[in-house]
Amino acid sequence: MSTDTAEPALKRQKKEEYVLYYWPGNPGRGEHIRLAFEYAGVPYTEFNDPGKLLSIITNAKEVGGTPHFAPPCLKLPSGTFLSQTPAILNHIAPKLGLAGNKEGADPEELRSLVNQLTLTALDLNNETHDTHHPIASEDYYEDQKEEAIKKAKNHRAKRLPKYLAHFQNVLESNPDGKDKGGTYLVGSTTTTADLVLFQVLDGTSYAFPKRYAALKKSGKYDNVFALKDRVAQEPGIKEYLASDRRRPYGMNVFRYYPELDGDK
């Protein structure tokens, strides 16, 4: 391991207390939470019994409180279970140093701004999922393939460029990150918004390789793609991406169906 990817020893000394409840075999929505812990160097474990996952998190007695709708679900050090990806990220962001850091800014407003940008990146995540399941999330892709082809066409042509233009706009208008390459969405430190955007871009490069290449080549969203490259090299993330903890894409949010991809 090269020294630039070695994490500060202090980071790894915290007590291991967070437990992620998510499907163990794929990145999916759980990946956004994994990346936050991996970047911060805060240890977490994963519940590894997919057969029991849903019956636990949807049962008030099992979680000792409010039952949950769907994974990911995070068991906090207090024993409380929390679900909904953006709620989890917003909860842990200040504890992991991922809620923004900007001199003179109100910390709570900064945290909400990070939450806002995280939510927008997660909207793109959700819309990407819907390209292969536009009609019924419970049914097979093959049963909604015709509609998926239509939705994916609109996604590639309109939605994806609209999101990229937004994030490019955000990056270009952030004065604090300018001297560091203009690759920070808030201030000049990594936040959950950067990590989620990285993951959605990475997933998009898997699901829509032709369209991703064309958008990158257009030169319109250079800061966005530079953010992806920057995050991939961050201590914690670089090590994680090279490890076997990083799961391959498969049949979750980001799926590769050649008929859904295209240059345009």
- Binding footprint of a copy of itself on the chain (CB under 8 A): 58, 60, 65-69, 76, 78, 80, 82-84, 86-88, 90-91, 106, 108-109, 112-113, 115-117, 119-120, 123, 130, 134-139, 144, 147, 150-151, 154, 158-159, 163, 166, 169-170, 173-174, 185-186
**103 Rama class: left (phi>0) / alpha (psi -120 to 50) / beta:** beta
Name the phi and psi angles at 76, rounded to 5: -80, 165
Handedness of CA 46, 51, 56, 62 (dihedral sign): negative
To the nearest whole angstrom, how small is the minimum distance from the Cβ of residue 162 to a copy of itself?
8
To the nearest whole angstrom, how small is the minimum distance from the Cβ of residue 88 to a copy of itself?
8
Rank residues 157 and 232 by Cβ distance to a copy of itself and give the closer one. Answer: 157
Rank residues 155 and 239 by Cβ distance to a copy of itself and give the closer one. Answer: 155
Rank residues 28 and 236 by Cβ distance to a copy of itself and give the closer one. Answer: 28
By CB neighbour count within 10 A (0-12 exposed, 13-18 middle, 19+ buried), where does 51 fall? exposed
Adjacency order of strands within the sheet including 44-47: 44-47, 18-21, 73-75, 81-83
Rank residues 53 and 237 by Cβ distance to a copy of itself and give the closer one. Answer: 53
**Nearest residue to 98 via CA among 85, 114, 80, 78:** 114
Structure tokens at 192: 């959950």
Rank residues 166 and 247 by Cβ distance to a copy of itself and give the closer one. Answer: 166
Rank residues 187 and 203 by Cβ distance to a copy of itself and give the closer one. Answer: 187
To the nearest whole angstrom, how small is the minimum distance from the Cβ of residue 225 to a copy of itself?
19
Structure tokens at 24: 């163990």
To the nearest whole angstrom, how small is the minimum distance from the Cβ of residue 4 to a copy of itself?
30
- Return the exposure string of 225-263: e unless at least 16 CB atoms fall within 10 Å of the residue's CB, then b: bebbebbeebbbbbbbbeeeeebebeebbbbeeeebbee
To the nearest whole angstrom, how small is the minimum distance from the Cβ of residue 44 to a copy of itself?
17
To the nearest whole angstrom, how small is the minimum distance from the Cβ of residue 118 to a copy of itself?
8
Structure tokens at 174: 């952030």
Per the CB < 8 A criterion, the answer to whether 33 and 192 are in contact is: no
To the nearest whole angstrom, how small is the minimum distance from the Cβ of residue 214 to a copy of itself?
20
Residue 18's Cβ-side half-sphere holds a number of Cα atoms within 13 Å equal to: 24
Rank residues 139 and 263 by Cβ distance to a copy of itself and give the closer one. Answer: 139
